[in-house]
Amino acid sequence: MLLTGLIIYIATACKMVIVLHIVRFGFLMSWEECMLKIETRSQKSKFRTVFFCILYSTFCILSIAACKRHEEEKAVIAPSEVVIRINDREITHEEFQDIFKRLYLEGESATEAKEEDIRELKKALVNQLIEEELIQEEANKLVLKVDEKELSKELENIKKEYSGEVFESTIVNRYGSMDKWREEIRKKLLIKKVVDEVISAKISVKEDEARKYYKEHSADYNVKEQIRARMIVVKTEEDANQARERLKKGEDFAKVAQEVSLSPEGRKGGDLGFFGRGDMPKEFEDVVFSLPVGQISDVVKTVYGYHIFRVEEKRAAKSQTFHEVKKGIMDKLKREKSDVEFQEWMNKLKQKAQVEVKGELL
């Protein structure tokens, strides 16, 4: 159950962040959100992103635990005391702490963390809150809103891939209620809408720019050998052997994966998509890259469970043409231009704003 909960929790949170491509504009992310950022900016497998985010979350948990001790040593700030003012918006210490905990979770044990790390986490959160508030003020000026239809569509996109009970309990534990989560998603959608209106819609990239980039980075488009595989992962060796017996008798791999696999991909028939060498844990690669297409692997034991693989397709190494990668390059260049434009725009908003942060908070 621990593995199931962990994988579903990570995937659930990451799905939410698909909406929030604004993370590239510098907003602080929770540890689940970091996974999506990594996944969407590279072709690395889902497994490596999960591993990275687990490590990232561990750091954040340790930082929170140490932060508690750090706060005890400093002057106590009353929960109702205003610690941040952004124009007419006031944020109390209690509200700040609630957001901090929601982003990073709470550690159950006290461990050491560097004071500068604690300060950096808090500074990043303060900056996020300031930027979000200023963007929401711009939304009001532009008369932009997220209607119920838009919100419901996004919520359904998030929820439809995951178990209802596990999903709802995770959300309630994190946000306190489904209603609070809905409003958080509404806020993120509104921020995205403002950024699209003010920044993204005004940025363009010419084909000549993309061709120039392609020539200067041609080595980046030499694609290594890739494999598309399916995977079943279960908790015990007995479960794995039972699943493999079903496969040997001719049952469809995708169907069995949907029924027994613990990973999020299980709901999609265990499909891992395409990946190359170095994208997966070595114990997985050693198996799948040696398998012929269509053959079922033996049971593979790892620290994550017991796995069964089947290779669906293989692609030989090749150099991608400009036309194959044109859209990706133009999207990348547009993102880079948007980053610069956003920072300039945000700096102007901050210069005009009345912002106060209580020194003791940091």
Query: What digits encode the pLDDT tens for the residues 81-91?
Result: 999 999 999 99
Decide if pLDDT at 72 tops 90. Answer: no
Decide if pLDDT at 26 tops 90. Answer: no
Distance CA 218, CA 208 (A): 15
What pLDDT is stored for residue 299 in this prediction? Answer: 96
Interval 85-105 mean pLDDT: 88
| Segments in the chain forming alpha helices (H) | 2-17, 31-41, 46-73, 93-104, 115-142, 148-159, 164-175, 178-198, 207-216, 237-248, 253-260, 282-288, 322-352
Render pLDDT for 274-290 as a digit per residue (tens, 0 to 9): 999 989 888 889 999 99
Q: What domains, with CATH codes, occur in the chain?
A: 2-202+349-361 (1.10.4030), 225-316 (3.10.50.40)
Name which of 36-50, 83-97, 136-150 the model is least confident about: 36-50
Distance CA 140, CA 277 (A): 49
What pLDDT is stored for residue 120 in this prediction? Answer: 86
Interval 213-221 mean pLDDT: 96
